[in-house]
């Protein structure tokens, strides 16, 4: 397997110069490990002499949905504790007789459950965690289940609650014990981070209340409202931990121990699960923009500027971590960089590496 490292570095350096992000950390590899990696830019523009580092800690944002929720739901599915097509109301008393009664886990994982499109937790339910939980689980649907594919943070929030219900554990403990510890992901954890770890964290958006950039505290408001732990966001991670996670998805024998999910869950998730609906989705993962089904390249992003790609057919994975929110919420400049990065990391036509 070969990569055009010079072109990847030039692409990411250009993103720094254009102020798409202050800095970036990236890697590409296969089941055997990292094949190429690098850094670009600085950790914090206010400290221009401090470069980005390979062990910089990033606010994973919606990658939490993969690292914690998707993986833990997969563990429960492989345990036989969860049927993806069983209506939630038939085994979850909290939603029995409520709008979620007939919704299935598969519909939540494919964003076809008909949930409200925005979280708006504080506006709708206040600040008490139990009031928020009750409100989310009893909220009316935006449309009938199975009618459309519409991305919403609420799907992951509900699945996080479901994982806690079925396991009898909090989401952070469940993810740590069933996923992160077995894979050796020792730097992945929910925030807020202790000061000694936050010092290595890439700062994100300016907090108007404190007039400082968030660092070690989740950018996502819902995660902060819920104390740092929820299915939507809140996890922090480093490049090496993502590499371990993605390698395991390609080959479970690469890990120190077997994690809660295995090849059955990965294979099911990285296939189209939305039938004739568009845009097509697997289970939480979706096909990478600009690719065809034959390419078999799947992706999940985080709003802070994170992203992971994987292709079982090509036997490859890639990760790109940035703190683009330091500058802007504008999505398009980073989208262009991401798509170009993906194009350099994966082969068109889905050819396997040599």
**pLDDT tens digits, residue range 18-47?**
999 999 999 999 999 999 999 999 999 999
Taking the CA atoms of residue 316, residue 230, residue 122 and residue 209 in that order, the dihedral angle to the nearest 10 degrees is: -80
1-19: average pLDDT: 92
Q: Which residues pair with 301 in a beta bridge?
A: 307
| Secondary structure of residue 306 in the 3-state scheme | strand
Predicted pLDDT at 348: 67
Distance CA 20, CA 334 (A): 6
Q: Give the separation between CA 215 and CA 198, rounded to whole angstroms.
A: 6
Alpha-carbon torsion angle 215, 204, 298, 157, nearest 10: 70
pLDDT, tens only, 83-93: 999 999 999 99
Phi, psi of 310 (to 5 degrees): -150, 145
pLDDT at 350 over 80: no
- Report the predicted TM-score, pTM, of the whole model to 2 decimal places: 0.96
Going along the chain, which residue ranges are E strands?
23-30, 33-41, 58-59, 189-190, 206-207, 212-213, 235-237, 286-287, 298-302, 306-311, 316-322
The CA distance from 308 to 301, in Å, is 7
The pLDDT assigned to 347 comes to: 74
Token pair in block for residue 322? 């940035």
* Average pLDDT across the chain, whole number: 96
Q: Give the model's pLDDT for residue 293.
A: 83
pLDDT digits (tens, 9 = 90+) for 242-281: 999 999 999 999 999 999 999 999 999 999 999 999 999 9
Report the pLDDT value the prediction gives residue 164, as an integer from 0 to 100: 98
Residue by residue, DSSP assigns 91-139 as T-GGGTTSTTTT--HHHHHTT-S---S---HHHHH-S-HHHHHHHHHHP
Sheet with 235-237, strands from edge to edge, namely: 58-59, 235-237, 189-190
Nearest Cα to 8, choosing from 342, 347, 349, 313? 342
Percent pLDDT > 90 in the chain is 95
Q: Say what the pLDDT of residue 353 is.
A: 45
Burial class (CB in 10 A: 0-12, 13-18, 19+), 354: exposed
Q: Are 170 and 164 in contact, with CB atoms under 8 Å apart?
A: yes
Alpha helices, H only, 286-351 = 332-345
Q: Is the pLDDT of residue 73 over 80?
A: yes
d(CA 136, CA 214): 27
Q: Cβ neighbours of residue 127 under 8 Å, at least 6 residues apart?
A: 225
Domains of the chain: 5-203+213-348 (3.40.710.10)
Average pLDDT (56-75) is: 98
Q: Measured in Å, how far apart are the chain's first and last C-alpha atoms? A: 5
**Given this model, what pLDDT does residue 253 score?**
95
């Amino acid at each position: 397997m070969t990569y055009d490292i010079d072109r990847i570095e030039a692409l990411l350096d250009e993103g720094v110069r254009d102020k798409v992000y202050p800095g970036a950390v990236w890697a590409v590899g296969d089941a055997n490990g990292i094949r190429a990696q690098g850094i670009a830019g600085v950790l914090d523009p206010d400290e221009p002499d401090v470069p980005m580092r390979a062990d910089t800690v990033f606010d994973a944002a919606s990658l939490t949905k993969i690292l914690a929720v998707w993986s833990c739901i997969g563990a429960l599915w492989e345990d036989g504790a969860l049927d993806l097509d069983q209506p939630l109301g038939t085994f979850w008393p909290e939603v029995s007789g409520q709008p979620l009664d007939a919704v299935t886990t598969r519909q939540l994982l494919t964003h076809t459950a008909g949930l409200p499109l925005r979280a708006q937790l504080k506006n709708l339910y206040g600040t008490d965690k139990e009031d928020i939980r009750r409100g989310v689980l009893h909220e009316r649907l935006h449309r009938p289940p199975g009618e459309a594919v519409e991305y919403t943070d609420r799907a992951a929030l509900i699945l996080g609650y479901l994982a806690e219900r079925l396991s009898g554990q909090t989401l952070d403990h469940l993810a740590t014990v069933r996923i992160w510890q077995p894979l050796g992901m020792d730097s992945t954890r929910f925030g807020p981070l202790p000061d000694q770890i936050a010092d290595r964290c890439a700062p994100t958006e300016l907090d108007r209340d404190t007039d400082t950039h968030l660092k070690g505290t989740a950018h996502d408001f819902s995660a902060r409202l819920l104390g740092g732990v929820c299915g939507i966001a809140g996890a922090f991670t480093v490049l090496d931990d993502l590499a371990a996670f993605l390698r395991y998805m390609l080959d479970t024998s690469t890990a120190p121990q077997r994690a809660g999910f295995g090849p059955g869950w990965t294979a099911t998730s990285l296939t189209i699960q939305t039938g004739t609906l568009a845009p097509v989705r697997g289970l939480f993962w979706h096909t990478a923009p600009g690719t065809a089904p034959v390419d078999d390249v799947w992706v999940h992003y985080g709003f802070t500027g994170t992203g992971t790609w994987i292709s079982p057919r090509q036997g490859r994975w890639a990760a790109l971590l940035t703190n683009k929110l330091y500058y802007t919420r504008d999505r398009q400049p980073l989208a262009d960089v991401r798509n170009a990065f993906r194009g350099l990391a994966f082969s068109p036509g889905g050819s396997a590496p040599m």
